[in-house]
Structure 1
Amino acid sequence: MDIRLLAFDLDGTTLLKNAVLPERNREALLEAHRRGAVLVPATGRMRGFIPHCITELPVGYIITSNGGVVYDMADNEHIIENLIDNKTAIDVQNILDSYDVYIEYYTGGEAITKTGMPEKSRTHYGMPEVKWTFVDSKGYTFTDDFGRMLVETGLCPEKINLPYLPKRVRGEIWKRLSTIDGIRLTSSVPDNIEINSAAANKGGALRELCRMLDIPMEQVMALGDNGNDVTMLEAAGVSAAMKDGSEDAKAAATLVTAAHDDSGLAEAICKVFGFTVTSSAHPI
């Protein structure tokens, strides 16, 4: 099959433990590139939080913040932006002010959070250990008041991220945020909420990028595992969901591959492109 562009989610799809690229996945991505496919990571992460094991690959473009911003890696400049307008961000924050939850704003490829939040992530906010790297590995800018920051700066964020929400409030917050026009709510794991502009989603960003590159969607392969990947899996001519992914992701994909921690990405790429990789190494 003539695949000219390969779009792949990171966490729960390509990476292990949110930071490690298994050797089989790396070899499969490199071989796909050698066969002419443009490599496009597509992630909910902001640009400054893409691990080196991904950026050292021959990546052509990166879809970040769930389609909030797309970068051309040749010059590291953004070529597509779908931002939350300032007034809408203020409306979102007015709701979030009612809850004592961990909040991040993504802008300019970096993250802003409230002073003191990272130090209280494990204790006060109760983040499970699997989430710690998403706090410890970020270089934050801090504010003392999200609402005042939005008013004073006119910030139009790429994404507003709620990385961990207790069950007792997640459903209520989702319901209240759903009343705001101009935003899209998604989740990359069951206990978070990711807030983007209504125009921002991985599938839409992928379609726009492919129009710019004159690549038909029939010649695109996408790989993902969760709710924020569904639009991308639906948009691509060929798509694969990880066996351990969400039910909506698996329903949206044209095939279901092995689990992400069993090199499901490599298995799917090899099947579609028609080659094999020899490595069986799984890094710790």
Structure 2
Amino acid sequence: MRYRLVALDVDGTLFCRRHEVSPRTRAALAAARRRGMVTVIATGRMPHSALRISREIGGGPVVCCNGAAVLDEHGSYLEFREIPGDALAQSLVLGRRFGALMHCYTPEGKVLDQPLAHFLDTYRWIRAGETPLRAALAAARMWGANQTRLVRRLERWALAHDRPPVLKVMLLGDPDRLQALADEVRRQVAGVEVTSSGKGNLEINAAGVSKASGLAALGERLGIPPEAMIAFGDSDNDLAMLRYVGLGVAMGNAAAHVKAAADRVAPCCEDDGVAHVLEEVCGR
């Protein structure tokens, strides 16, 4: 079957140390679009961030917040699945108890408390590939792009009747404590999925939500079956997507269990793994 859609994780897949798409990968994606393929950003990131990256690579719909939201290339919501209120409140209480730094993704933007700790965490994440000044400026731009809103305490905000729907909760902290927290959330909280996009975070969505569920909803609208899809990813939150599509590709920098779930393994992100596979499968 001719592939008609390519789904792309961002961090560790499209973006490497410098948080940008390489020229070779841009060219490979442009060639895929010329052959009629739909390019889809499939990420745990916010809708605003996912749309910006989609436009950078030439456009297309996005599956974001780990599949909790599906948007067309103009930014209109096609689907979204919010976390039930009781499950959200329980998850935030547990996250606070375990000392996690937390924020919530909503259709209106990111909501958080502890702003200084969050800003420093964003700065450290960006700093890996930038100078200190550029990293600080990029962190500030990211806050603005994500329409970040500050509240006094997330647990209280979550109980408000007029708050927007929450698509995803991100929890950051020590990997060992986060693993214990994940076990506790799975044991105590009904109606949620728990995954991760790196060893220093946990990501909570409504039950049944994954990048695979987002691709399924999008594929139904576009008339594209999973067998006609390729997906690239590197983390736990990519596992369902890699198993769902006709060709699931794990990056060379992915963990061993992610590679084991894929149909094939590409070179590392830094070595243009996405481009390498697309050039082989779709041509230049």
Q: Please tell me the residue identity of whatever aligns with 1:65.
A: C
Alignment partner of 2:40: what SS? strand
Q: CA deviation at 1:156?
A: 2.9
Q: Which amino acid aligns with 1:20?
A: E
Contact 2:51 2:75 (C-alpha < 8 Å) held by counterparts:
no
Aligned residue number for residue 199 of structure 1: 208
CA 1:81–1:65 in 2, change beyond 3 Å: closer, same or farther? Answer: same
TM-score, length-normalised on structure 2?
Answer: 0.88
More helix by share: 2
CA contact (8 A) 1:102 1:121 kept: no
Percent identical: 26
Q: CA deviation at 1:19?
A: 2.4
Alignment of 1:1-284 (within 5 A): 2-17=2-17, 19-50=19-50, 52-73=52-73, 75-108=74-107, 110-118=109-117, 121=120, 129-130=127-128, 136=140, 137-139=142-144, 140-152=148-160, 153-162=162-171, 164-179=172-187, 180-273=189-282, 275-276=283-284
CA drift of 1:199 comes to: 2.1
Structure 1 residue 213: deviation in Å?
A: 1.1
User: CA distance change for structure 1 residues 239 and 109 in 2, over 3 Å: closer, same or farther?
Assistant: farther
Secondary structure of 1:212's match? helix
- List per-residue Cα deviations over 1:51-97 (Å, max 9, x = no partner): 74542333221000000101011x31010112101121011112122
- Give, in whole Å, the separation in 2 of the partners of 1:221 and 1:103: 32
- Alpha-carbon contact 1:49-1:110 (below 8 Å) kept: no
Deviations 1:4-43 (A, max 9, x none): 1111101100112362110111000110000000110100
- Residues in 1 aligned to 2:259 and 2:126: alpha-carbon distance in whole angstroms: 26
| Distance (whole Å) between structure 2 residues aligned to residue 241 and residue 251 of structure 1 | 8
C-alpha distance in 2, partners of 1:221/1:120? 35
C-alpha spacing 1:7/1:120, structure 2 compared with 1 (3 Å):
closer
Go from structure 1 to structure 2 and tell me whether the alpha carbon gap of 1:2 and 1:168 turns closer, same or farther (over 3 Å shift). Answer: closer
Structure 2 distance, partners of 1:218, 1:109, is: 34
The whole-number CA distance in structure 2 between the counterparts of 1:169 and 1:84 is: 23
TM-score normalized with structure 1 length: 0.88
Q: Note if contact 1:65-1:159 (Cα within 8 Å) is conserved in structure 2.
A: yes
Report the Cα offset of residue 128 of structure 1.
Answer: 9.2
Gaps of 5+ in 1: 277-284
User: Shift of residue 204 of structure 1?
Assistant: 1.1
Q: Indicate the larger mover: 131-140 or 108-117.
A: 131-140
> What is the deviation of 1:184?
0.7
Paired residue type of 1:198:
A
What's the counterpart of residue 279 of structure 1?
Answer: none
CA distance in 2, matches of 1:256, 1:154: 42
